[in-house]
Amino acid sequence: MLTLRHGSAAAFAIALLASGSALAQAEDLHLALEGVETPSSLAWVKAQNDKTLPLLSADPRFSGLQADALKILASKDRIAMPNFVGKTVFNFWQDATHVRGVWRRTSLESYKSASPQWETVIDLDALSAAEGKNWIWKGTDCRPKTHDRCLISLSNGGKDAVTVREFDLTTKTFVDPAAGGFVLPESKQTIEWLDADTLILTRDWGPGTTTESGYGFVIKTLKRSQALSDAVEVFRGQKSDVSARPNVLRDAAGNRVVLLTRATDFFHDETYLWDGQAAQLLPIPRKVGVSGLIGGKLILKIEEPWTVKVGTSAITYPAGALVAASQDLLTGARDKQIAISNDCDPCQLLAPGPRQSINQVAVTDHRVLAVVYDNVRGSLVSLRLRGEFGVTAQTLPVIDNAAVSLGSTSDEGDDVFYTVEGFLTPTELKLADATGTTAETVKSLPAQFDAKDMVVEQKSATSKDGTAVPYFLVHKKGWKLSGQNPTLLHAYGGFNLSKLPVYDPLIGKLWLERGGAYAVANIRGGGEFGPAWHEAALKANRQRAYDDYFAVAEKLIADKATSPRHLGAYGRSNGGLLMGVAMTQRPELWNAVVVESPLLDMIRYTVLPAGASWIGEYGDPAIPAERAWIETYSPYQNLKAGVKYPLAYITTSTKDDRVHPGHARKFAARLDDLKVDHLYFENTDGGHANGADPKANARRWALHYTYLSRQLMDH
């Protein structure tokens, strides 16, 4: 071990970083900050917050931004997003009065009216106060058919790990464990109703039952009144997996399928059919999403080409396609001599083109619904399987240049809620019968910022390797291409997730309305153009996503839409990693970088929960060849002395158990070592999803936009 005989640890760190030596890569002087709630870490966090909060909150714009954000986040004019439980509509609602929120219900007809008559089912504020807990709502799963009992997931402070308790919708009370009520202690867990009195689930069952990513890999059944220790194991993955999880599917014809999925990495699964006794591996692609069950057929969204042999015939389905296949076909039970053309099993329901993608899929009693994007503009298609006659398709109404999102589907029938929206078009909630071609608009979000003088453009930049990268640009009409426009550039670029043209009142009110421009880059690594767009930036090709982002920034500057003095970058989670790379690789492009909930130490990310689950995206730094290319971009290791970095705003949450707060802390500490000015703020609650109360979230956004205003709008 090295002993520091002269000077401080900070001075030693600067010398190491400046030298670029191998020792600089091996020595991590800030490992202690990975202790999430150790006294020393929390003292460091407090010291950082005590520097940042007074500076930003004293800015004359802060209070107004916070008030505007709270008005939006706690507004009663928001759409109360519906969820079907049976034929009843439920909603979880937060406002200034219900800070933690209420879970409430009404009839469908009442919901469609101008003033729904809501009945409170659970008051989370009252529950938290009564139990002395910091409960954050994490959703519910209700018993099929009877819809009378629900499993309620509650998080302590917003963590992904939840406590699950059974709730009786008839009495509006939690079911006493002494009376057989299910209560599952805090864990990252996946739970399904197997029948009215049996659960099938995965969780932390004790030592040796969680993967290196921190998720369960042992699936068990648990009967009512059975002790957790007596749950019966039905499947076991491996510790090196990401997870194992159950999936129980039912259809209107009365079929039930129980799938057990072993996630060998983030994108590859082994899918098993469980008959109650044994699990049979299904011969479906390992990169696949199982979207539902209809007429006994599994609906599969395949992310890699799939060749299926039936008798003497074979057909290959392309990556990104939607396919229906029967259990009999997949298990080998059906007659292999039936011709595909007569049986339509498997059936290709939809295959996107080269600049298209299938973004979401849902299944009703008689239809398969798919949200399809064409050059990042959404549509909604209803698909019908017609036996030997194949598939018919019809579209449901949307708006032009929109983001389309599927909401809740009825447990019985073909009703579906979905939303349409655009950057400047407030969200509309529509209700349709998926068997038809019409939809009624049941709710519309009132305009929450003044967009009458704004315009949306879709443009394209050319990346380093010649790839065309689309981006959206939202700005005031008649603006001058003078290089003086304060512009915020956002992107994500990972995990097959698309950045879509959504209506965001906070961006509109806190940024656009005040004269800022907003750009969204559809860089590789996302899912905007299907699996190939995502895979183009996987692992060793990660730099392509970053080059795409830089290309859009350079195009904005070349067009004189903005300039480095007035250009800011914003991203969170994997987008926070993008921000760290933007700051370390191209510091000259920006005057502001918001690094939120980020991954930054990519050499240690796999040992920080839940980092090991993302090896399929980034690669494994424990493998020398993969570490070599991870080291080229890992932001924490690539901070260097003598570089002029923009003033960054780095922010995370103590309760984030998905992307460890140690990433943000250590990055800020290393900037301190280098004597590089930055701002750091850590919220003590909220988790990775920032699911804290509206007041805390309003402060979060006010801090963001105060910082951006100071950096990009001033001077």
Kindly write down the DSSP assignment for every residue of 132-200, as one continuous string. T--EEEEEEEEPTTT--EEEEEEEETT-S-EEEEEEETTTTEEPPGGGT--EEEEE--EEEEEETTEEE
Residues 6 or more apart from 308 whose CB is under 8 A from it? 314, 315, 316, 317, 325, 329, 346
d(CA 662, CA 584): 18
**Cβ contact 507:475 at 8 Å:** no
Query: In this structure, what token pair is assigned to residue 17?
Result: 């970083």
Helix (H) or strand (E) holding 329: helix 327-331
In this structure, what are the phi and psi dihedrals at residue 456, rounded to the nearest 5 degrees? -115, 130
Q: Where are the beta strands (DSSP E) in 303-438?
A: 306-310, 313-317, 322-326, 347-350, 356-363, 368-374, 378-385, 391-396, 403-409, 415-421, 428-433
Buried b (16+ CB within 10 A) or exposed e, 361-391: bbbbbbbbbbbbbeebbbbbbbbbbeeeeeb
d(CA 460, CA 472): 8
Which of 243, 357, 382, 573 is catalytic? The answer is: 573
d(CA 21, CA 191): 49
688 annotated active-site:
yes
In this structure, what are the phi and psi dihedrals at residue 659, rounded to the nearest 5 degrees? -105, 110
Query: In this structure, what token pair is assigned to residue 176?
Result: 């006493």
Instruction: Give me Rg for the CA atoms of the chain.
Output: 26
Cα angle 538, 539, 543 (rounded to 5 degrees) comes to 80
d(CA 31, CA 171): 50
Q: Which of 240, 154, 143, 238 is nearest to 196 (CA)?
A: 143
- In the block, tokens 């480095």 appear at 564
Query: In this structure, what token pair is assigned to residue 358?
Result: 């299938």
The CA-to-CA distance between both ends of the chain, in Å, stands at 49
Cβ-based neighbour number of residue 45 at 10 Å? 23
Farthest CA pair distance, the chain? 83
Which of 475, 534, 688, 704 is catalytic? The answer is: 688
566 annotated active-site:
no
- The residues annotated with a catalytic role in the active site are 573, 688
